[in-house]
A and B are shown apart, each in its own frame.
Chain A
């Protein structure tokens, strides 16, 4: 049926083109473009793979990016999901019908409907509750009106960080997410976070989330309850102590990475250091260990020598 429609459509079009050519009227670009495409992911991507597919929302003046990077999507958590599973409605038509465009997608609905939803350690219900208490939900600033999951989590690229990915990269991309809205923070003369010693180092090494979410229990993921600046963590000791809070978060994952890369010894000795990020240089670590080992050897050798000398002395005494 669909094929027949396509053929008829081309025939109709050919006729129209011929007619307009005969009448000497040139088609203008205001002539509407209409199309009935398939709804496979590849059909959608035919347009949505265009890197610059976007428009400026006349109401907000903001750029609405419609581009979907096929390759990134293929590696995302949703790679296996057909577009139309989430984007329901007659998206096969171009222009997409207003009704289809008007629908609001929401992560929790879909994820809580999954049969294994209740088996998750961190349920979407919990996320929803946490988010409801978040400054992104409770603020009365007009800027957060309509704030939803997609403001931070692009469902087309979202994926969990994998072991082996450098921490600095994760921190950067994670913080970039926050900074894409909170852009003033990184302006050259920004006074934000000036109270922090070595502010820029912190920005490079720590995710915004680490301080701007409430403390969670061991084993619990970072909460979705984002805190306002004044409610956030100002206590250095939360991170810079032996029972570090950081280690339960992103850096917990680092211990896994370290374990993977440099084995048990490195993790056991280095991960509990007082200042996070202090002797992280493998060369220094090796050198340090070497020096300690060497000192121990010298001590043992010295003790052994003393012992041997004592024995010899005693024997000598006895012989006399």
Chain B
């Protein structure tokens, strides 16, 4: 029987129809049922999103707005043109003329005015409006090729939206010695699933919160609502991060994609006062500026647009030139975080590149919506383009020093020192090094309980340190590298970043502990200081021994890999509650805080209890989640035997949960806040310089050479013989 005849046989036709039916049913189930089941499983909400800021304008209103925006832009440009002309009066006259010059009007008008006018767009409705014209996008690749991508897909699959990636290419090594996601079992890694001691929470548990604050200056007991949470920066305007993207199949629902905030990056004028938490019938989420005004100012990306979010983790919220921090909201004002995450601002006042008008994307050159962080990654943050270089050398070349008499010698240092090492002489003073989440402090002005910043400093050796770095990092953000002499004494995980020896820092920690003891009498000051400054003292002798062995056996290869140079690294450690069932030699799984309870009551244990009742944290302690990613996660974390699914909350009591400092400090790369005038030679090449050459793995002989100031600054022989040394000697 031939195959066609077989297929026509009624018996087979029946089977064929059943087969096709099953396939269609599966496809439909995947399309419609899977998202519902998944959201139910992780306990997340998706709902159609609306924003009050999105208003429809009449044609007349549109034209009035267009005219005002056009004039603003024109005046700004005219002022720039005449900036150096004669006197103020002359400048005013010229500005007036330019304001009425036909070509000037045409060339300065924000381009989207014309586009929107012609397309009849009178309301900005989020991505839908943008995609009317920008459904696809031309992407230029470094190899000179060009591709066309679907704009929405491109964005939804970028780290800016997902906050994680399952792709390989991480320069991160687990404490078990394996490169993260290099093997067949890939897990989502990035900010989405990594609790961190700086924000004190996960993105899941700390996405959006409305805090009832009780500022003392307010009229008798008035409650002021404040906005807080990770979602203030991370794009995607729904009720939680894009959890669906953590699975190998499925996608975020279309209604969630409607919440993407295109304008926060693409509009030249975006009202950050709209960026506050709002409550609707489904829950809490972050509001956006969806005004037509913002949409009409869409222009090429600039530093200003990036810094709306990114100044937060560079200069910090308290940084004087953080523009976004000046627009906290018309209502539900965002809470400011006073301890800076890095304290290396990017602004004309404090960075040579910003001052020169260099834009973020000049160095971080995007490919579509994928933006490179550079190939050196220490902090396990997901990277869209892990192979794309972002470096000083790209522009400055091999011999950047031209002005100094010692230019050749300065250039000579580049083989061993990163540019940042000299050219970031210090960080902001409010750079936080040690943050205690377990013993919060009452902030009377804000009327909230805040984590206590036990130590802040922007000084070299205190707020940040110098380490060898070859581009690799550990799973808990510790820079890896080694002295090119192949030293086996360089061991930052047992030394530099595992203990604080500086007596001034220790004294400051002790002072803070004494202060905290008034609020928390149970604090044993000596033990407190020891735990904060010698976190390894929290490990049992067995774990300490295991730690030493693991560093030698698992990390040395990654440390000796490639070419290391000395880089500056901001140091950070936090005291948080840890799930001690999942402890290893490098730390235990830290537990997140619920922002509301934390800020409002200062009851830290209650705050943790609430946060870990979040459905997705409960799922974490179940078998499927364990199998899917937590076992692998823990292996990278340096914990053998897999993830223990012993849920740490029993009968509303925390079980096997202890407050601890992570067993070493994290090291965050600092690359901005570049000063033209770097460190002086003598900053390092002197006894007690800012660099500890011994800990950096140099031999005693070489240290003597490196620290010998006489070799650096000895007056020349001619000076000596003519200037009669006896007369100048002390």
Would B717 and A36 count as touching, CB distance under 8 A? yes
Mark the stretch among B103-111, B411-419, B513-521 that contacts chain A: B411-419
Would A34 and B713 count as touching, CB distance under 8 A? yes
Choice from B408, B714, B715 contacting A53 with Cβ under 8 Å: B408
Residues of B within 8 A of A6 (CB): 710, 714
Q: 1/0 per residue B380-409: CB within 8 Å of A?
A: 000000000000000001110110111111
Residues of B within 8 A of A30 (CB): 404
Q: How far is the CA of A27 from the CA of B407 in the complex (A)?
A: 18
Residues of A within 8 A of B715 (CB): 9, 12-13, 34
Q: 1/0 per residue A39-58: CB within 8 Å of B?
A: 00000001100111111101
Q: How far is the CA of A8 from the CA of B717 in the complex (A)?
A: 11
A32 at the interface (CB under 8 A from B): yes
Would A28 and B680 count as touching, CB distance under 8 A? yes
A-B contact count (CB 8 A): 116
A99 at the interface (CB under 8 A from B): no
Residues of A within 8 A of B255 (CB): none
Would B710 and A33 count as touching, CB distance under 8 A? no
Residues of A within 8 A of B713 (CB): 13, 16, 31, 33-35
Would B412 and A47 count as touching, CB distance under 8 A? yes
- A131 CB → nearest B CB, Å: 30
Choice from A8, A11, A34, A54 contacting B716 with Cβ under 8 Å: A34
Residues of A within 8 A of B709 (CB): 10, 13, 17
Q: How far is the CA of A95 from the CA of B408 in the complex (A)?
A: 11
Would B402 and A9 count as touching, CB distance under 8 A? no
Residues of B within 8 A of A51 (CB): 412, 415
Q: How far is the CA of A93 from the CA of B705 in the complex (A)?
A: 17
- A4 CB → nearest B CB, Å: 10
- Please classify the interface of chain A as helix (H, G, I), strand (E, B), loop, or mixed, using the class held by over half of its residues: mixed
Q: How far is the CA of A10 from the CA of B729 in the complex (A)?
A: 10
Residues of B within 8 A of A64 (CB): 408
Would A18 and B413 count as touching, CB distance under 8 A? no
A281 at the interface (CB under 8 A from B): no
Would A55 and B730 count as touching, CB distance under 8 A? no
Q: With CB as the reference atom, state the residue of chain A lying closest to B710.
A: A10
Q: How far is the CA of A212 from the CA of B682 in the complex (A)?
A: 53
B719 at the interface (CB under 8 A from A): yes
Q: How far is the CA of A32 from the CA of B405 in the complex (A)?
A: 8
A196 at the interface (CB under 8 A from B): no
Would A55 and B714 count as touching, CB distance under 8 A? no
**Given known A29-B681, A31-B713, A37-B711, contact A53–B411 (CB-CB < 8 A):** yes
Q: With CB as the reference atom, state the residue of chain A lying closest to B715.
A: A34
B725 at the interface (CB under 8 A from A): yes
Residues of A within 8 A of B679 (CB): 29
Would A13 and B411 count as touching, CB distance under 8 A? no
Choice from A5, A29, A37, A56 contacting B677 with Cβ under 8 Å: A29
Residues of B within 8 A of A58 (CB): 402
Choice from A15, A26, A28, A35 contacting B712 with Cβ under 8 Å: A35
Interface size grouping (class) on chain A: 35 or more
Would A15 and B730 count as touching, CB distance under 8 A? yes
- B287 CB → nearest A CB, Å: 49
Q: How far is the CA of A218 from the CA of B412 in the complex (A)?
A: 47
- A90 CB → nearest B CB, Å: 9
B678 at the interface (CB under 8 A from A): yes
Q: How far is the CA of A244 from the CA of B111 in the complex (A)?
A: 70
- A266 CB → nearest B CB, Å: 41
Would A47 and B409 count as touching, CB distance under 8 A? yes
Residues of A within 8 A of B20 (CB): none
Would B714 and A13 count as touching, CB distance under 8 A? yes
Q: How far is the CA of A226 from the CA of B434 in the complex (A)?
A: 68
B728 at the interface (CB under 8 A from A): yes
B720 at the interface (CB under 8 A from A): yes
Choice from B406, B717, B719, B730 contacting A33 with Cβ under 8 Å: B406
Interface size grouping (class) on chain B: 35 or more
Interface centre among B399, B415, B416 (most CB of A within 10 A): B399
Interface positions of B from 648 to 683, Cβ below 8 Å from A: 677-682
**Given known A47-B409, A52-B412, contact A36–B729 (CB-CB < 8 A):** no
- B417 CB → nearest A CB, Å: 10
Q: 1/0 per residue B682-720: CB within 8 Å of A?
A: 100000000000000000000001000111111111011
A286 at the interface (CB under 8 A from B): no
Would A54 and B406 count as touching, CB distance under 8 A? no
Would A27 and B680 count as touching, CB distance under 8 A? yes
Interface centre among A19, A51, A52 (most CB of B within 10 A): A52
Residues of B within 8 A of A228 (CB): none
Choice from A18, A28, A34, A54 contacting B398 with Cβ under 8 Å: A54
Residues of A within 8 A of B729 (CB): 8, 11-12, 15
A275 at the interface (CB under 8 A from B): no
Q: How far is the CA of A9 from the CA of B398 in the complex (A)?
A: 34
- B257 CB → nearest A CB, Å: 41
**Given known A47-B412, A52-B411, A54-B399, contact A95–B405 (CB-CB < 8 A):** yes
Residues of B within 8 A of A23 (CB): none
Would B714 and A54 count as touching, CB distance under 8 A? no
Q: How far is the CA of A29 from the CA of B678 in the complex (A)?
A: 8
Residues of B within 8 A of A46 (CB): 705
Choice from A28, A32, A52 contacting B399 with Cβ under 8 Å: A52
Q: With CB as the reference atom, state the residue of chain B lying closest to A8.
A: B725
Residues of B within 8 A of A50 (CB): 409, 412-413, 415-416
Would A8 and B720 count as touching, CB distance under 8 A? yes
Q: With CB as the reference atom, state the residue of chain A lying closest to B718.
A: A93
Q: How far is the CA of A29 from the CA of B683 in the complex (A)?
A: 10
Would B415 and A5 count as touching, CB distance under 8 A? no
Residues of A within 8 A of B711 (CB): 35, 37
Q: How far is the CA of A268 from the CA of B344 in the complex (A)?
A: 71
**Given known A12-B725, A93-B716, contact A33–B409 (CB-CB < 8 A):** yes
Residues of A within 8 A of B678 (CB): 29
Choice from B397, B416, B720, B730 contacting A9 with Cβ under 8 Å: B720
Residues of A within 8 A of B398 (CB): 52, 54, 63
Q: With CB as the reference atom, state the residue of chain A lying closest to B402.
A: A56
- B478 CB → nearest A CB, Å: 27
Q: 1/0 per residue B245-281: CB within 8 Å of A?
A: 0000000000000000000000000000000000000
- B408 CB → nearest A CB, Å: 5
Residues of B within 8 A of A5 (CB): 717, 720
Q: How far is the CA of A320 from the CA of B728 in the complex (A)?
A: 132
Would A34 and B402 count as touching, CB distance under 8 A? no
Q: How far is the CA of A289 from the CA of B152 in the complex (A)?
A: 67
Would A54 and B411 count as touching, CB distance under 8 A? yes
A66 at the interface (CB under 8 A from B): yes
**Given known A15-B728, A18-B730, A55-B408, contact A63–B712 (CB-CB < 8 A):** no
Q: How far is the CA of A33 from the CA of B716 in the complex (A)?
A: 9
Q: 1/0 per residue A87-124: CB within 8 Å of B?
A: 00000010100000000000000000000000000000
Residues of A within 8 A of B405 (CB): 32, 95
- A69 CB → nearest B CB, Å: 12
Q: How far is the CA of A12 from the CA of B720 in the complex (A)?
A: 9
**Given known A10-B714, A13-B713, contact A54–B408 (CB-CB < 8 A):** yes
Q: What are 29 A-to-B residue pairs whose CB atoms are below 8 Å?
A: A6-B710, A9-B714, A9-B720, A10-B710, A12-B725, A12-B728, A13-B713, A13-B715, A15-B730, A19-B730, A29-B404, A29-B678, A33-B681, A33-B712, A33-B713, A34-B715, A35-B711, A37-B711, A46-B705, A47-B409, A47-B412, A50-B413, A50-B415, A50-B416, A52-B398, A55-B408, A56-B397, A63-B398, A95-B406
Chain B positions near chain A (C-beta within 8 angstroms): 397-399, 401-402, 404-409, 411-416, 677-682, 705, 709-717, 719-720, 725, 728-730
Chain A positions near chain B (C-beta within 8 angstroms): 5-6, 8-19, 26-37, 46-47, 50-56, 58, 63-64, 66-67, 93, 95
Known: A17-B709, A27-B680, A64-B408. 17 other contacts (CB 8 A): A10-B710, A11-B725, A12-B714, A12-B715, A34-B714, A34-B719, A36-B717, A51-B412, A52-B398, A52-B411, A53-B412, A54-B412, A55-B407, A55-B408, A56-B397, A56-B399, A95-B405
Q: Which 5 A-B pairs have the closest CB atoms?
A: A50-B412, A53-B412, A51-B415, A15-B730, A9-B714
